């Protein structure tokens, strides 16, 4: 698999701490968390 570099701005890092009662905000927060989980899994398997 090819390495991809992804940059997150402050809004992305703060999204999980926003009011997630809105569906769109919840989906964005969960997507960000999932990306971080995948990255951690990759580091642990190396």
Q: One digit per residue, pLDDT tens: the chain, 46 residues?
A: 688 888 999 999 999 999 999 999 999 999 999 999 998 998 888 7
Which pLDDT belongs to residue 6?
A: 85
Tally of helices (H runs) and strands (E runs) in the chain: 2, 0
Which pLDDT belongs to residue 4?
A: 83
Of the candidates 8, 29, 10, 32, the residue with the CA atom closest to the CA atom of residue 18: 29
Which pLDDT belongs to residue 5?
A: 87
Q: Specify the pTM.
A: 0.79
């Amino acid at each position: 698999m090819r390495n991809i570099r992804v940059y997150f701005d402050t809004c992305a890092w703060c999204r999980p701490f926003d009011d997630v009662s809105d569906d769109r905000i919840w989906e964005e927060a969960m997507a960000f968390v999932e990306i971080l989980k995948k990255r951690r899994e990759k580091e642990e398997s190396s």
